[in-house]
């Protein structure tokens, strides 16, 4: 009897929001253009002379997992802003995706309220 091979399921692709903090000698406009997101200055007392602290946010579309999204954004900095951004102190974190879970208590309450109404 011929057995059909079982293929593993396709990985679930999600759009993941990635937050980055670090130090740069460049501008936030350079950072925004490089990562395709928003960047702004932050007041960081640990910045070395000539550097400023920044925070940035971008979205990595159709990504399989958190580490892939972090690697993509980190590589953008390493490839395009290596001379202006302190790569060694770059912090790249993905915001956790909250799974949608229906509010079963509220749904049951609404159903009871509808049942109590005399149509």
Domain assignments of the chain as residue spans, ordered by start: 14-94
**pLDDT value, residue 4:** 67
Angle at CA 99, nearest 5°, toward 93 and 104? 150
The CATH architecture one would assign to domain 14-94 is 2-Layer Sandwich (3.30)
Could you tell me the pLDDT band of residue 78, with boundaries at 50, 70 and 90?
very high
**49 to 44, 60, 97: CA distances (angstroms):** 12, 32, 37
- What pTM does this model have? 0.70
Q: Give per-residue pLDDT as tens, 6-20.
A: 777 777 788 899 999
pLDDT grade, residue 117 (50/70/90)?
Answer: confident
Structure tokens at 72: 């993509």
């Amino acid at each position: 009897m011929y057995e059909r091979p079982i293929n593993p399921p396709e990985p679930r692709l999600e759009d993941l929001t990635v937050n980055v903090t670090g130090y740069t000698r460049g501008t936030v406009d350079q950072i925004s253009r490089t990562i395709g997101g928003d960047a702004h200055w932050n007041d960081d007392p640990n910045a070395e002379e000539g550097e400023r602290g920044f925070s940035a946010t971008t979205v990595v579309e159709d990504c399989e997992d958190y580490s892939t999204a972090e690697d993509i954004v980190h590589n953008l900095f390493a490839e395009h802003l290596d001379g202006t951004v302190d790569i060694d102190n770059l912090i790249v974190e993905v915001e956790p995706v909250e799974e949608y879970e229906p509010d079963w208590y509220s749904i049951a309450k609404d159903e009871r309220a509808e049942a109590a109404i005399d149509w």
